[in-house]
Chain A
Amino acid sequence: MVFSSVSFLVFFLPALLVSYYLVPRRFREARNAVLLAFSLAFYACGGVRYLALLILSIAINYLCGLLASDAHRAGVRRAAVVLACVLGLGLLGWFKYAGFFARIVNDLGVAIPIPHIALPIGISFFTFQGLSYVIDVARGDAACQRNPLRVALYVALFPQLVAGPIVRYTTVEREIGARDESLDEFTAGLVRFLFGLAKKMLLANAMGELTDSVYGMPQLSASTAWIGAIAYTFQIYFDFSAYSDMAIGLGRMFGFHFLENFNYPYVSASVTEFWRRWHISLSSWFRDYLYIPLGGSRCGRVRQLRNLAVVWLLTGLWHGASWNFIAWGAWFCVLLIGEKFLYGAALERSPAVLRHVYTMLAVVISWVFFRAPTMSAALAFLRAMCGGGAGWYSADSVYYLREYLPELLICPVACLPVRDALRGMLERRSGRAAEAVLILAPKLLALALLGLSYMKLVSGSFNPFIYFQF
């Protein structure tokens, strides 16, 4: 089930809201139970058979969390972390990578059967989330949770279950036990959710249609290829950040506060900055649980290079079991190494425009690896962007520009912190009118966007979520 669906919006969400808020606030565990039951039902809509996997993952993390608590010796705690990693990553490895590695082995000339395994939705997210809990408990950063239902709720909480953000246990530890649901929080969450829904339905889907059309063309001119590449750059941002907005908003409607997952990544002036602003929950996960334990930047240059290579190989693989994602990770690895050791200082001294152009060029090219179905398709697409396809220009470019002109005009603006700027401007102005606008405008706009989003939802059929495949 996706948030931008009739079944979620019109049936699941109202049923959950009614069931949840009918339980008096003092019965916290009953409210948690309602939320957990609905979260499991939400996940089961992707296939009941995968529910067992989710519950198994929860059980592993719960038991390993108990063993990782400070009630045990250091050796036991370390063993609990190793066990959680082996079992959690083992499940992830089997479901996500078994087929890929079997194909590599076959390509190397060793004939082994290639398993065809359907990827359970959200496995990469809930595996990483569960692992972070066990590691945090073992490190003493979080208290061990002895109530299995609370661990289950933490891992399975539906807003972030299938496409993130990867919520740390420490972020919601207190709120699982005692949170303040209020009209203030509910309204703020609702507005955030509706803005996210609009981003998805009005911008991401339109850019997705354009991207799919371009990537589906047998011959591409450079002009069309660039339009497709830029469209995908917008699509992936609005799609994924919209999901995060909706997750954060829904969380708030039930009293949870998840950390931000995006911070206007396309305003970045370097790739290093981009990765501080893009999918923050994943990059910080790799930083805290892999990069720093490996030695991070506080070691010799060779080890730093190794650490970066390991992190980016795994970041690429986390996104998908294919050479494209490995190439995508390697691309960023090379750029980050370049910025860190070679041209970072020169980049900082160069004009801001140049830095933005460099960053966006790097990002747009990276998304080609991300979007193309195969490595050869990605390379062909990049070749077409350089004029090596069907020439430099074709009439279809004009069509795509004209057909998606409204979205292509709105998308760049929506990538900028316009909302923050407007809010700041209004906050600086004293007076009742400015205050009234600050109070009313977001809510009115959110409701208007709900109308438009619902209109798009029921009248169109293009509605995929990119990050569901991870």
Chain B
Amino acid sequence: MKKLNRFAQLATVSAFALFLIAAMLLTYRARHKGYSFYENRNLAPRPAYSAGAVLDGTWFSALESYLIDRAAGHNTLARLNARLDIALRRPTVNNVVVEDDLLLAMLPYQAADAAALEARSERMAERLQEIDALVSSCGGQFCHVLVPSHYAYYADRYPAFLNNFAEDTALRRASFRAALERRGVDYVDLWDTFAALGFPSELGSAVDHHYSVYGAYEIYRAVLEHFNERGAGLTVYDAFDDAQIDKPYLGSRMRKLLGAWQSDERLHYFVPRDEIPFTRSDNGHESASTVFAFPAADDEWVTYSFFMGGDIPHTVIDTHRDELPSILIYGDSFTNALESIAYVSFDETHSLDFRYYTDQLTLGEYIEQYRPDYVICVRDYEVLLETGGNGVGVDG
């Protein structure tokens, strides 16, 4: 037994030493890494030396953040950790609600504040009224497009002990719609469309908080039919081929789990059967004539950025069909899949994302300069009343 004890001690110390050496070398090797794909964020930078920071200890805490971001096996272990948490049947992992066939956002336990929602609805409706007036004065039509957030679309899929914001959603919709109606701002609430269809799961995604291309198509159809009800005469194109990317779809929720959840969902996209040639410019520079960013062959995953190449501040797609009207679509990333379909119905499709389109034209100036025939603002319920980002007014 003495021999066994000696061997066990040597083996334990050796294993620990090996762990330390490996961890040190691998961490050192990762020192140049600057971006984390899975976490979709820049890694903590190497702390800049300053006497003050060393004296008060902030330099050392920044160094720990820098090291932890580059720690040996960071992604692998984080994925393993997520996998373990899923196996332990925790209801939420990395702030994602893990159901058997669906990943949802973890929502805080906070009660809806009806008065605050009403005040915010009023403020936002006032902004939209000004935009609506400006678009009309430029000869166009404005429509605000309200899309249910992922948590609202799948509200009934939340376990009873988790908040699904159902009360907030109902109050938010009601107060905002009422405010828009009082001010005469035209809108489409996709809730009505999806409810009529019975909220089919394939319109959304199990792994991403955006709509699938099928959901995006329903939004496209609902908006165009809405304009047509007001005499627009727009063509709702329906001759698309349904294609898919044969790689696992790393949706936003799946990404938070570092791909640790089992899913065979594939990213689908629509390709028009008719050839519709177009030119495209991003941020004023000509770019490839495509609305899809195909992943490189060696990429493991495909993400929602496949549509339109992700969130780009300013894109113009010109199909050179002067007989067709033009449209300006602004909003968050929900617009990306929509734009990959909508351009087929228009001569020019302008896309702005005011989260990134800054220090250039204001929304008002843009509308006055380009005078689009249709202007739509697409926002989901979660950010509907936010005045930042794409909640800009004419001067924003």
Contact = CB atoms under 8 A, between A and B. Distances in A.
Interface in A141-184: 183-184
B12 A432 contact: no
Contact of B81 (A395, A396, A406, A459): A459
A456 B81 CA distance: 7
B56 interface: yes
Interface residues of A, number: 52
Contacts of A191: 12
B21 A14 contact: yes
B161 A402 contact: yes
A49 B56 CA distance: 6
Interface residues of B, number: 48
B13 A183 contact: yes
Interface string B20-60: 11011001000000000000000000000000001111001
Interface string A38-55: 000000011111100000
Contacts of B71: 6, 10, 457-458
Contacts of A455: 77-78, 80-81, 84
Taking each of A13, A439, A446, which has the highest tally of chain B beta carbons within 10 Å of its own beta carbon? A439
A402 B23 CA distance: 34
B361 interface: no
A47 B109 contact: no
Given A403-B92, A406-B88, A435-B1, A458 B68 contact: yes
A9 interface: yes
A7 B88 contact: no
B65 to A, nearest CB: 9
Contacts of B117: none
B182 interface: no
Nearest to A213: B109
B190 interface: no
B18 to A, nearest CB: 10
Contacts of B13: 183, 186-187, 190
A459 B21 CA distance: 20
Contacts of B160: 395
B19 interface: yes
B4 A436 contact: yes
A423 to B, nearest CB: 15
B16 A190 contact: yes
Nearest to A400: B161
B23 A10 contact: yes
List 8 tightest A-B contacts by C-beta distance, closest first.
Answer: A47-B57, A459-B78, A398-B161, A458-B71, A187-B9, A459-B81, A45-B60, A395-B161
Given A399-B162, A443-B11, 18 more contacts: A6-B71, A7-B64, A10-B71, A45-B60, A48-B55, A183-B13, A187-B8, A395-B163, A399-B92, A399-B161, A403-B92, A439-B8, A440-B4, A440-B8, A447-B16, A457-B68, A458-B77, A461-B68
13 contacts: A6-B71, A7-B60, A7-B64, A10-B72, A118-B56, A186-B9, A187-B13, A190-B12, A397-B161, A398-B161, A439-B5, A458-B78, A459-B80
